[in-house]
């Protein structure tokens, strides 16, 4: 239906979108070229913030590396875990409903609550991990998991895996239901083993779902903040620092808002760039239209 009244229908949304997203986003470009404490007038310093971020700020570089490791870690744990369980659940069995309920339960609690709970689980003195280790006679492996630079990032990643595995399980489970049953019947007639059926039928047909899962891990990983802030906030020695926690420290604790703006733009540029590139490479442009 052609009518210029259409603009009236989108006007309220457009006003809110412009004031609270478009306009501030444009301001970010200006602030990123300035030195600014948030109070006085911003002072133009050209590309100094960007060159500092890229060439000098080793912690910012490290935070990107941490973020990428986190994304890879979440993809491996969440997908392996979610996919494995989805395949196990694919055949109907007793207790399916109970199982699905419990498996998905961690997803509905907030990231902050999950992070605080797992900080207890990793506690040196009474945490479940160390208790379990001493129970099976491995108490020499006990350590303050979040306080040790070699384990902190992995510990945070596993928490994310615990929270999100249910979501990926549901995604893969839905994808499994789409696979035509005739394929398995035909394979059975040909005498293919169950393992072969999984490998040659199930996995290839799950590829589209795997691509979606990877995209969710990339986009969600770069947007991570709450879990890290609640569990470690970059400690110890920046071993769990990610760009978003580092940006907050600069912009709001140290009042380097100009520098924080530059770091934010780099983060957004990299994360949306990778997501878009991925969408184009995997031919999912239509997802955007």
Partner 1 sequence: MTHDKTYSHLEKIGRYGILVPIICFMGYPLVWMILCSLKTNLEIFVNPWGFPSKFLYKNWEQAWVVGRLGRYYLNSIVVTVASVCLVLVVSSPAAFAFARLKFKARDFFLYLFLMGLVLAPILVLIPLYKLMRDIKLLNTYAGLILPYTGWGLALSIYLLRSFFLAIPEELQDAARIDGCSVFGIFWRIMLPLIKPALLTVAMINAINYWNELLLALIFMQKTEMRTLPAGLIFFSGQYVTNYSLVFAGLSIAIFPMLIVYFIFQRRVIAGILIGALK
Name which of residues 74 to 113 contact partner 1 (CB under 8 A).
81, 85, 88, 93, 99, 101-113
Q: Give the pair of three-digit tokens for residue 38.
A: 């948030």
Minimal distance, residue 11 CB to partner 1, in Å: 8
Which residue from 54, 272, 277, 280 is in contact with partner 1, where contact means CB under 8 A? 272
Minimal distance, residue 274 CB to partner 1, in Å: 10
The residues, ordered by sequence, that sit 6+ positions from 60 with a Cβ below 8 Å of its Cβ are 53, 243, 246, 263
Name which of residues 40 to 79 contact partner 1 (CB under 8 A).
none
Q: Compute the distance between CA of residue 83 and CA of residue 70 in angstroms, rounded to an integer.
A: 19
Interface map 204-233 toward partner 1 (x if CB under 8 A) = --------x---x--x--xx-xx--xx---
**Could you tell me whether strands 34-35 and 43-44 are parallel, antiparallel, or unpaired per DSSP bridges?**
antiparallel
Question: Between residues 55 and 93, which has the closer beta carbon with respect to partner 1?
Answer: 93
Q: Compute the distance between CA of residue 284 and CA of residue 289 in angstroms, rounded to an integer.
A: 10
**Burial, 278: exposed, middle or buried (Cβ in 10 Å; 0-12, 13-18, 19+)?**
middle
Q: Tell me which stretch binds partner 1 (CB under 8 A): 48-56, 67-75, 146-154, 254-262.
A: 254-262
Classified as helix, coil or strand, 1 is: coil
**Contact flag: residue 17 with partner 1 (CB under 8 A):** yes
Q: Tell me which stretch binds partner 1 (CB under 8 A): 57-65, 69-77, 181-189, 259-267.
A: 259-267
Minimal distance, residue 9 CB to partner 1, in Å: 4
The residues, ordered by sequence, that sit 6+ positions from 266 with a Cβ below 8 Å of its Cβ are 50, 53, 54, 243
**Contact flag: residue 138 with partner 1 (CB under 8 A):** no
């Amino acid at each position: 239906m052609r009518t210029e009244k259409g603009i009236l229908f989108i006007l309220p949304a457009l006003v809110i979108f412009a004031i609270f997203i478009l306009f501030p986003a444009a301001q970010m470009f200006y602030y990123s070229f300035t030195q600014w404490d948030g109070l006085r007038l911003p002072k133009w310093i050209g590309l100094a913030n960007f060159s500092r971020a890229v060439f000098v700020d080793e912690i910012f570089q490290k935070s990107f590396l941490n973020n990428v490791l986190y994304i890879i870690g979440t993809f491996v744990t969440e997908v392996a875990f979610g996919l494995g369980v989805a395949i196990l659940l694919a055949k109907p069995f007793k207790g399916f409903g109970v199982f699905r309920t419990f498996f998905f339960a961690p997803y509905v609690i907030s990231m902050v609550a999950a992070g605080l709970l797992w900080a207890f689980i990793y506690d040196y003195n009474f945490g479940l991990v160390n208790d379990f280790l001493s129970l099976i006679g491995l108490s020499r492996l006990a350590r303050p998991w979040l306080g040790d630079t070699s384990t902190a990032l992995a510990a945070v990643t596993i928490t994310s895996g615990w929270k999100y595995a249910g979501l990926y399980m549901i995604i893969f489970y839905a994808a499994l239901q789409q696979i035509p049953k005739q394929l398995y019947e035909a394979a059975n007639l040909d005498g293919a083993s169950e393992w072969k059926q999984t490998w040659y039928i199930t996995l290839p047909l799950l590829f589209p779902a795997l691509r979606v899962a990877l995209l969710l891990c990339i986009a969600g990983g770069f947007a991570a903040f709450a879990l890290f802030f609640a569990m470690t906030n970059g400690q110890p020695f920046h071993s769990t620092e990610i760009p978003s926690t580092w940006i907050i420290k600069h912009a709001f604790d140290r009042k380097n808002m100009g520098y924080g703006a530059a770091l934010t733009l780099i983060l957004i540029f990299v994360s949306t760039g990778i997501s878009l590139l991925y969408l184009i490479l995997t031919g999912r442009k239509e997802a955007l239209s």
